Amino acid sequence: MKRLIVNADDFGRTPGVNAGVLEAHLSGIVTSATVMVLEPAAEAGVSEASRRARGLSLGLHFVLTGGGAPASPAERVASLLVGGRFPRDAQSLPSEIDPDDVSRELDAQIALFTKMAGRPPSHLDSHHHSALHASVQPVFAEAARRRGLPVRASSAAARDALRAWDVTTPDRFFDGFYGAGATAENLQAILAELSEGTNELMCHPGRADEDLVSSSTYALERERELAILCDPRLRRELAEENIRLATFGDL
């Protein structure tokens, strides 16, 4: 059987992102989302999801990039920071990071999620795929294994490494529904590529509110993603391709 997890990243970033993700779940094909617990709209978004979208699988979007402040006291995670804040992107992460700092920050963000949601996350992934970093990946994998949480495998090599650490992952990952690739035609092509087993499609639906437009270079594109993900024809196409929507909980 072909199973498809459609995961919306960046939940909690702004009220507009929250609104778009919830719409993409309630009226579209999004089945899961990962929460940026350090963002100001995270707590309200998780609360709203618990009221309106109990079928939405909520995980943690672990953040080590983006220029914000950590969940931990800065002095306890100094190797992760530049001037007391996370670097802007994954390419700017130091080549070597203290694994204890990674572990402290990951534990702190999981604790924040659990406090907001009243339960642990259903799964883990990472902002800008920072969990692929050589100093981060083993710590990330051990935290997931210890808690029994599934993890996004954003490459075949990451999948094999995570499974070697006894961490559950989907079989395949698709990140092409983004930017110029966020078109109905490209999504149809991705669906046609799915194989037997569990596939994850990453997406970024949202409403381009003022907070998002002022802080992100990827804002208006989220509305295009949202419209495509909510196209009622998608359900018929999934049925025709014998694809069943799934969540990380199904793993």
Parts of the chain with a pLDDT under 50 = none
- Determine the pLDDT at residue 106: 98
Which tens digit of pLDDT belongs to each residue from 133-180? 999 999 999 999 999 999 999 999 999 999 999 999 999 999 999 999
Q: Which domains does the chain have, with CATH numbers?
A: 2-250 (3.20.20.370)
Q: Which of 50, 177, 26, 91 is nearest to 35 (CA)?
A: 50
- Does the pTM surpass 0.75? The reply is yes
CB 36 within 8 A of CB 64: no
- Determine the pLDDT at residue 209: 95
Q: Give residue for tokens 């930017």.
A: 179
- Determine the pLDDT at residue 226: 98
Give the CA dihedral 92, 125, 144, 4, nearest 10 degrees.
-150
Amino acid at 7: N
- Determine the pLDDT at residue 28: 97
- Determine the pLDDT at residue 224: 97
Q: Give residue for tokens 């999981």.
A: 110
Token readout for 198 is 């569990």
Give the CA dihedral 106, 5, 232, 211, nearest 10 degrees.
10
